Amino acid sequence: MIDYLREIISGTWSLFVGLGITIRYFFQPVVTVQYPYQTLPMTPRFRGHIELVKDEETGETKCIVCGMCQKACPSNCITVNGEKREGVKGKVLTEYTLDFTKCSLCGLCVESCTPSAITFSKDYNLAGVTKEAYIFDLKKRLEAKN
Amino acid sequence: MSAFAESEAKETFVLNLGPQHPATHGVLRVKLTMDGEYIAEAEPVLGYIHRMHEKMGENRTWAQFLPNTGRMDYLHALAYNHGYVSVVERAAGIEVPERAEYLRVITAELNRVSSHLLWFGAFILDLGGFSPLLYAFDDREHILDLLESVTGSRLTYCYFRFGGVYNDIDDNFVPGTRAFIKRLRERMPMYHNLVTKNIILMKRLQEVGPISAEMCRKYGATGPVCRGSGINFDVRKHEPYSVYPEFDFDVPVYDQCDSMARYMVRMDEIEQSLRIIEQALDKLPEGPVMAEKVPKILKPAKGDYYHAVETARGSFGVRVVSDGTNTPYRLKLRSPTFSNLSLFGEASQGMLLPDALALMGSLDLVIPEIDR
Ligand code: SF4
Ligand code: SF4
């Protein structure tokens, strides 16, 4: 009987302790970020979808069309094509397509690229209604930025 | 115990719990044969999220399987990374620099804390208490920020590579982690006051959902489930790998065998993980984070290799069979939750439905890891 009463009292007390904690936190500043009105800065290492890097000297892509990224990708989302041109050493990039619908953002492609011709973008606000919207033509994107 | 049905089941009905049910956390379906409010039989039905990870592994190069490891147990992805890279390093005979091993341990332990915090929130949510989830996510957010700044992602990490880690840590990581450890240590008493000592929680967990040590052995349960039944087994201590032997930490073991014991094991493990991280930060050596001379196209020697790691849910083992080519011949994954779930049928027999849900929550199930 005594134990029973003691349990009721200590049990009720434990509820008040819990309530006290929630009330204390109620008066503390809000930690939630009100997205989309406020956004947080992305960390430098954030892995978004990949993007071609511009060569500062030539303004063109650094890609040498070696195909390593295409081979490294576990999900086969990269298609690279190039052609030989008169008077240019090596191949010239004609197509760089990323099928973002399959990409797992693993980063193996960026690691495998010896001339560092690709990097991660910081895009995370991606939404669309068609699948085609996610087949990115990275060459066009690079040219559009120029 | 009053929670058990007294009479023989005379009239039963079938109740489907899941595959879309908040308490089954994902797509687990449990076929329950009910006798009123009591469970006569429970049969977990798996396969709703089967993605053939093992077969995928056998169809791609060794390195291309790395991102998959983070997608099995998405709550403790780094331990899965660790298991896979360790077994391949063993197969290919790659030496890992010490700094890389320290970074692996630090990040994997941080990930373990975040996994336990999420489990804590979700478990209390299963029992009907909403606000502890928000407190746990507040703390977990700090870990995710720390890990994001070094690994580049927040949940499905893919940070370890054969021979080291992807990136060295940034300047902010060490002070940030120390500040987080201090913060979480200050918050732990709050968690205990808010939740552990709460009379409602105690009444719902104590002496509910008994899992005997015998049953754990029978089904091969590992992790906090077996440690809550008095079995002192932790891969980090008993089959040490990486640099774990250099740290001083305890393995929390409770022998009450009830849901409360499993709850307490996890809460104590958070503190032990913090201790490991602290010691690792103190001892963190300088040096490279990637072994030199790791071949770009890996072809491990012919043979059969196995490596186990301790994840937040138990022992995760990877067995690879190499035939000397650039793809694994066989890749077998042994995931802890599969065994931990298997005992649910036997353990929940005769229990009240709400108690069985408390039991299920205390097993800490991650469904994509069961189905793989
Ligand atoms: S991030 Fe991974 S999945 Fe995406 S394109 Fe690169 S290699 Fe392929
Ligand atoms: S992006 Fe890099 S790896 Fe891919 S084809 Fe171009 S140079 Fe080669």
Predicted local confidence at residue B2, as pLDDT: 47
Structural domain total, chain A: 2
| pLDDT exceeds 60 at position B264 | yes
Residue that is written with structure tokens 């804590």 in the block: B120
Asked if A27 and A91 sit in the same domain, the reply is: no
Mean pLDDT, chain B, whole residue set: 86
Same domain for A57 and A106, yes or no, is: yes
The pTM is what?
0.87
Chain B residues near residue A15 by CB distance under 8 angstroms: 198-200
Same structural domain, A56 and A87:
yes
| A4 and A74 both lie in a single domain | no
Does position B30 have pLDDT exceeding 60, yes or no? yes
pLDDT tens-digit map of A21-57: 888 888 888 888 888 888 888 888 888 888 888 777 7
Best probe residue, ligand 2, of A61, A62, A64, A92 (max atoms within 8 Å of C-beta): A64
Instruction: Identify the nearest ligand to the CA of B60 by its number.
Output: 1
Does any domain span residue A27? Answer: yes
- Does A80 share its domain with A123? yes
Residue A117 lies in a domain: yes
Same-domain status, A94 and A56: yes
Predicted confidence (pLDDT) at residue B270 exceeds the cutoff of 60: yes
Mean pLDDT throughout A5-19? 82
Chain A contact probe: residue of B149, B197, B206 with most A CBs at under 10 A = B197
Q: Tell whether A69 and A8 lie within a shared domain.
A: no
Instruction: Please give the structure tokens belonging to residue B339.
Output: 């065994």
Question: Which uninterrupted H or E stretch holds A61?
Answer: none
Q: Is B65 within 8 Å of chain A by CB?
A: yes
10 Å Cβ neighbour count for B262? Answer: 29
Ligand closest in space to the Cα of A68:
2
Structural domain for B121, as ranges: 3-370
**Residues A92 and A138 occupy one common structural domain:** yes
Whether residues A23 and A77 share a domain: the answer is no
Predicted local confidence at residue B37, as pLDDT: 86
Q: Are residues A24 and A55 in the same domain?
A: no
Q: What is the mean pLDDT of chain A?
A: 82
Ligand 2 pocket check for A52: Cβ under 6 Å: no
Q: What are the DSSP calls for B30-80, one per residue?
A: EEEEEETTEEEEEEEE--TT---HHHHHHTS-TGGGHHHHTTTSTTSHHHH
pLDDT in tens, B113-159: 999 999 998 888 888 888 888 888 888 988 998 888 888 888 888 88
Domain that holds residue A69: 50-145
Asked whether residue A118 falls in the same domain as residue A61, the answer is yes
A99 within domain boundaries: yes
Check which CATH number belongs to the domain holding B161 and give it.
1.10.645.10
Task: Enumerate the β-bridge partners of residue B34.
Answer: B13, B39
> Is the CB of B255 inside 8 Å of chain A's CB atoms?
no
Ligand 1 pocket, Cβ-based, cut-off 6 angstroms: A 50, 72-75, 77-78, 98, 103-109
What gap in Å lies between CA B242 and CA B250, rounded to an integer? 17
A55 and A27 within one domain: no
What domain count does chain B have?
Answer: 1
Whether residue B67 and residue A31 make contact (CB cut-off 8 A), yes or no, is no
**What ipTM was assigned to the predicted interfaces of this complex?**
0.79
